[in-house]
Amino acid sequence: MPLPQAPRVRVLIVEDDTVDRIACRRAFAADRAHSFELLEAEHGEEGLERAVAERPDCILLDYNLPDLSGLEFIDRLDTALPGVIPVMMLTGADSAAVAAESMRRGARDYLVKDVDGHYLELLPGAIDRMLREQRLLDEKRRTEAELRESQSELRRLAAYQETIKEEERKRIAREIHDELGGLLTGIKAYISVAIERAQRDGREADPLLGETAGLAQTAIETVRRVISDLRPSVLDQLGVWPAVEWYTEQVAIRSGITTECRILPSAIATELDAERSTMVFRIAQEALTNVVRHAQATHASVLAEVVHGVLLLTVTDNGKGIEAGGLLSRDSWGILGMHERTRRFAGDLKVFGEPGQGTTLQLRLPLDQEQKQGQA
């Protein structure tokens, strides 16, 4: 059974010395482990044209060409075909600095042209090694590109899910308000009528009716709170900054933590679209929720401002402080969710603190040109 033929390797030799080109051809022809197809160019410009037109597997490049230096050739090749074709530089015996600079510019390997021609014996194996490294590099690039695309798809999916989630919150809030809220209001109204009728008839109203009316009012207030947590109407009616101020006040009322909210004029003058407004509000909401649940704080503050075209939202507390391990924990879904919300709009989120010194969360959101013009 005949042995399988080695895959053909197309090598472009860019060399102005005819004797050296013949020597390279002989060295490649003498190698039985590989199958080489040789393309030749005597000048740098010709070599670049052939490289772009014929896309060889690699280039064997002499440093001293009549029209271009090896470094100029590499720069021009990288502009035309960045990182596509690996280059092996042939340098003189006293050109260590040239070889180092060639590698820095993008050459993949180099061989020193000694006067005895020993480099020719090494040439086929060096080309084979360089191509193996190129295949590994290409595979790494493909894997990284696939990973970036996968991450991009996951972020698009997360953004879509956030949009759906917000729409679902709106829908549920409306249904609770229209159905359950209306039903509870009706029940309370009927109880009030029953109490009034008893009083008009000169009878003592059943105490249970008064207690039931109180329970109905408590249920109505609970429904309002649930609706506000799902989707505060102030966010849609008045905008993000009144919504942030309102929620900060609600935190103080519900938790007993003292709060402060400062929206500077630079932020008030900034018009955010609906999606960014929702994102900013949810970041503030999640940050204050974390303060209530985990910080053991007695005070929290919110500050919004615009500095050099970047919206800054800062939430600080005087609690126990978050540790580095808490930021890296796989259970920190709230922090991870805030990061994902922020990345969707090319923003940046930082959370830092010291044990016993409180925690600071800062959102940095670059503003596009239209939003900057809204400040004028």
Which residues, including other chains, have CB under 8 Å from residue 40's CB and lie 6 or more apart? 12, 13, 15, 21
Strand order in the sheet with 348-353: 258-263, 299-307, 310-317, 359-366, 348-353
Domains and CATH numbers, the chain: 8-117 (3.40.50.2300), 232-376 (3.30.565.10)
pTM: 0.57
Are 374 and 273 within 8 A, CB to CB? Answer: no
**pLDDT tens profile 168-211:** 877 887 788 778 888 888 888 888 888 888 888 878 878 888 88
Apex CA 221: angle with CA 217 and CA 224, to 5°?
140
Distance, CA of 230 to CA of 286 (rounded, Å): 13
Q: Are 20 and 1 in contact (CB under 8 A)?
A: no
Q: H or E element: which one contains 348? A: strand 348-353
**pLDDT greater than 90 at residue 14:** yes
Q: What is the pLDDT of residue 376?
A: 46
As a whole number, the mean pLDDT across the chain is 85
Transcribe 116-155 into DSSP letters. T-THHHHHHHHHHHHHHHHHHHHHHHHHHHHHHHHHHHHH
Q: List CB contacts of 251: < 8 A, sequence separation 6 or more.
A: 257, 259, 288, 291, 292, 300
Per residue in 77-92, pLDDT (tens digit) is 999 988 889 999 988 7
**267/248 Cα distance (integer angstroms):** 17
Residue 369: pLDDT over 60:
no
Angle at CA 169, nearest 5°, toward 348 and 242? 60
Q: How far apart are CA 248 and CA 52, in angstroms?
A: 62
pLDDT of res. 330? 43
CA distance 365 to 248: 20
**pLDDT at site 229:** 75
Any idea which residue has 């966010």 for tokens?
A: 235
